[in-house]
Structure 1
Amino acid sequence: MLTTGLALFVSTWTAHAGPLTDRVNAGQPVRIGFSNVPVYGFPDEKGEPKGFANVIALDVLKRMGNTNVETTVVDWGGLVPGLHANRYDLITGGMYILNARCKNVAFSEPIAKTGVAFIVPAGNPKKINSYKDIAEKGAVFVTYSGSSTIADAKKEGIAEEKIMEVPGPTEVLAAIKSGRADAGSMTYFEAKFIADQSNGTIQATDPDALPEWTQNWVGIGFRSEDADFVAKFNEALKKYVGSEEMMNSVKEYGVVPAHLRGHPTTEWICSHR
């Protein structure tokens, strides 16, 4: 029933080429905006796009015949505004498909499911494993602007004055290291990566200590007027997700089959998350 509704929505739009399709037909590049988020999307030392969300987006675009691509690194909070300002045609970087975002972003079908974790000083001196722990201890919580975890923290009782917003994961780590904050939220992929690179000074908490509703699905974001392009992207994505090509491409980022199982449709996620 869910997929039927999606099919009807797509068929309504595919009769009319959107701006991105027009750009591609005119020989212009597909412009990708992504934030510097470990594991999901980040630039290497040469500025080339890395991370599993970027890899998946680039591989799927290539399958569609789109090899003329430009990429730009932007602060997390600038991704959606940049998409609407027509600076980018699609955005990556581990963006969760959420009801609030679905009103402003046309997401692809899911590319992975992941949970939230905290980074804390080694030894977890304040014994923080959940949002409720932070609220009860009056601890300072830090995350990056535009993150879905801001709303999650408030929902779980963390006072607004105890929430610190910073540009990205690098600044979250800096706040924890300096003692300005007690726990920093990000996806488990990011938290584990940062902990592994910290020489034993930072640890990642267990994502299973948080409620099930904090589990979310990652998608690639487009503008709603590009629904015809999104439909074609999803067709190629369906054949790509879980393929040997994909698993070989994302292996270095820790993505395993468990992250790909049980995906509902984006339409369902937009209604329930």
Structure 2
Amino acid sequence: MAVGIPLADWLSGCTFTEPGTGAPKGSVLDRGRRQGYLRVAVFNEPPYTKLEVDGTVTGAEPDVLRAVLQQLGIGDIRGARIEYDAMIPALKSGQVDVIAAGLFMKQSRCAEVAYTEPVIVSTESFAVPPGNPQNITTIQVVLDNPALKIAVLPGGFEEGILIAANVPQSQRVIVRDNVSGVEALAAGRVNAFLLPTLSLRGMAEVNKSFEVTDPIEDAPATGSGAAFEKSQTDDVAKYNQVLAEFKEGQEFADIMQKWGFDADAALGVTAEELCKAEG
């Protein structure tokens, strides 16, 4: 798995935040223009985010973020791999300036960060053993069979889906990354691995040990955009103005197509709608 530039290396010598004060004050866009980049939290989960071996960050969300920021006078982004459950704390403490990692919107997250309008609208699926012997196709199937164990990433949207559906903790198995989830499935420690459909399909292209179910009918609609610190509402509004025009253009369509997403799926869907998802 590729790794990004160590976060500590970026922060050494920086004085964006006084100890104990949390995220730096003032306009994050102005700060980005001064320093020439913004620091972005990602996870290295293609097609949402991808960290190259040289530390370059790409993927659907970072590519859109970079393009919009360039129109706002910020030259580039620098990515750090941060696990999903640590992203919002890293943002609020000032370790990063923005999250662009497929961090799907839901009530609890929208209460803590300022999301831009969505660029990705996604579905969820299960990775299951070949033939899907337990016929795991919906969340209700999991609820109906207490013996089933489902792997999820810590703090991920998928863990929130199970919690909101009252799937018992005994059925939820935490794995640290995508590789660990597939390994747990292959070893029989779990019966399924819950992730976004496109993530699983991308993994299945190179790993034939599992198959991917159709999108889950009773999983909530979800999507993501960039997430900024809660005080940055004015900058988010400026970002959204540029993003709205960008989403209507060919470059946005090209980025979405490159990473396997439908550009039209994000048109007409609002952050306000997606933030109503439970969890």
Q: TM-score, normalised by structure 1?
A: 0.86
Deviation at 1:226, TM superposition (A): 1.6
Alignment gaps of 5+ in structure 1? 1-16
Per the alignment, do residues 154 and 76 of structure 1 end up closer, same or farther by CA in structure 2, a change over 3 Å counting? closer
1:82 aligns with 2:90: yes
> Match of 1:9?
none
* 1:132 and 1:158 in contact (8 A); partners too: no
CA root-mean-square deviation: 1.9
For residues 145 and 26 of structure 1, the distance between their equivalents in structure 2, rounded to whole angstroms, comes to 35
For residues 69-122 of structure 1, give each alpha carbon's deviation from its aligned partner in whole angstroms, at most 9, with x where no partner exists.
322112222211111110111001111111111111110011121111111112
Q: Distance in 1 between matches of 2:69 and 2:183?
A: 35
Aligned length: 253
Structure 1 residue runs of 4 or more that deviate by more than 4 Å after TM superposition: none
Structure 1 residues 256 and 271: alpha-carbon distance in aligned structure 2, compared to 1, 3 A threshold = closer
| AA at the equivalent of 1:67 | G
From 193, 198, 221, the equivalent of 1:184 is: 193
Picking from 220, 229, 254, the partner of 1:248 is: 254
Secondary structure, counterpart of 2:35 in structure 1: coil
Deviation at 1:163, TM superposition (A): 0.6
Residue in structure 2 matched with residue 45 of structure 1 by the alignment: 53
The change in CA–CA distance for 1:184 and 1:111 in structure 2 (over 3 A counts) is: same
Shift of residue 180, structure 1, vs aligned partner: 1.0
Pair 1:26-2:41 in alignment: no
The one of 68, 78, 87 equivalent to 1:60 is 68
Shift, 1:246, TM fit: 1.4
Query: Does structure 2 retain, via aligned residues, the 8 Å contact 1:28–1:68?
Result: yes
Cα gap change, 1:74 to 1:226, in 2 (>3 Å): same
* AA in 2 matched with 1:105: V
User: Runs of 5+ in structure 2 lacking a partner?
Assistant: 1-24
Structure 1 pair 269–160 and aligned structure 2 pair: CA distance change class (3 A) = same
Q: Which residue, 186, 210, 222 being the options, matches 2:217?
A: 210
Indicate the residue corresponding to 1:166 in structure 2.
175
Distance 1:271 1:133 in 2: 24
Cα drift, residue 159 of structure 1 = 1.8
CA-to-aligned-CA distance 1:42-94 (integer Å, 9 cap, x gap): 21233211210111111111111210432211222221111111011100111
Opposite residue 271 of structure 2, the aligned amino acid is T
Residues 32-181 of structure 1: matches in 2 within 5 Å? Answer: 32-137=40-145, 138-181=147-190
Query: Is contact 2:182-2:193 (8 Å) kept?
Result: yes
Distance 2:64 2:29 in 1: 20
Pairwise CA distance, 1:166: 1.9
One-letter code aligned to 1:165? I
1:196 aligns with 205
Residue aligning to 1:13: none
Looking at structure 2, the residues matched to 28 and 73 of structure 1 have their Cα atoms a distance apart, in angstroms, of 20
Relative distance call for 1:151 and 1:60 in structure 2 (3 A) is same
- CA 1:141–1:56 in structure 2 vs 1: closer, same or farther (change >3 Å)? same
- Whose RCO is larger (CA < 8 A, sep 6+)? 1
Structure with a larger share of its residues in helix: 1
| Aligned-partner Cα distance in 2 for 1:155–1:237 | 31
Contact 2:105 2:223 in 1 (8 A): yes
Distance 2:46 2:34 in 1: 34
